[in-house]
């Protein structure tokens, strides 16, 4: 059964702690993405990766870090430097653009992070 998994679904942390969110896909997609969604708002891109061992900052990368050591995995670390980390985090993957064609993104179920 192909898809994207994110774990855990809910995560609670104390302020000042780093926390890593997991994202795994078995769709054989080259591209992976992390978005942040705040209540009643759209999706804002944190980081994306179009190939293993390479990633690019999105619009709100400050206070976050990522790695892409394997095609299937794209973990996101929310560091203590992130001022307002409480949010819903969505991971997505897609095929990469090719010959002018572009492809839809498949989203995981999300992780709801609460930092107090």
Partner 1 sequence: GQQVMQIPQYQHVQEGEDFTTYCNSSTTLSNIQWYKQRPGGHPVFLIQLVKSGEVKKQKRLTFQFGEAKKNSSLHITATQTTDVGTYFCAGRVSYNTDKLIFGTGTRLQVFP
Which of 11, 58, 65, 67 lies at the binding interface for partner 1 (CB under 8 A)? 58
Name the one range near partner 1 by CB under 8 A: 20-28, 62-70, 74-82, 89-97. Answer: 89-97
Burial 42-62 (b: 16+ CB within 10 A, else e): ebebbbbbeeeeebeebeebe
Pairing of strands 111-115, 10-13: parallel
Would you say 11 or 80 has its CB closer to partner 1? 11
- Any contact of residue 48 with partner 1 (CB under 8 A)? yes
Q: CA-CA distance, 44 to 52, in Å (whole number)?
A: 22
Contacts to partner 1 by CB under 8 A: 31, 33, 35, 40-45, 48, 50, 56, 58-59, 90, 92, 94, 96-97, 100, 102, 104-110
């Amino acid at each position: 059964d192909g898809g994207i998994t994110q774990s855990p679904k809910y995560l609670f942390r104390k302020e000042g702690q780093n926390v890593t969110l997991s994202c795994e896909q078995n769709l054989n997609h080259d591209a992976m993405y992390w978005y942040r969604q705040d209540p009643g708002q759209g999706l804002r891109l944190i980081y994306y990766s179009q190939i293993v061992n390479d990633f690019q900052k999105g619009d709100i990368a400050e206070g976050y870090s990522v790695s892409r050591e394997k095609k299937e995995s794209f973990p996101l670390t929310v560091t203590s430097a992130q001022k307002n980390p409480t949010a819903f985090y969505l991971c997505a993957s897609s095929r990469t653009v090719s010959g002018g064609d572009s492809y839809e993104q498949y989203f995981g179920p999300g992780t709801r992070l609460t930092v107090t």
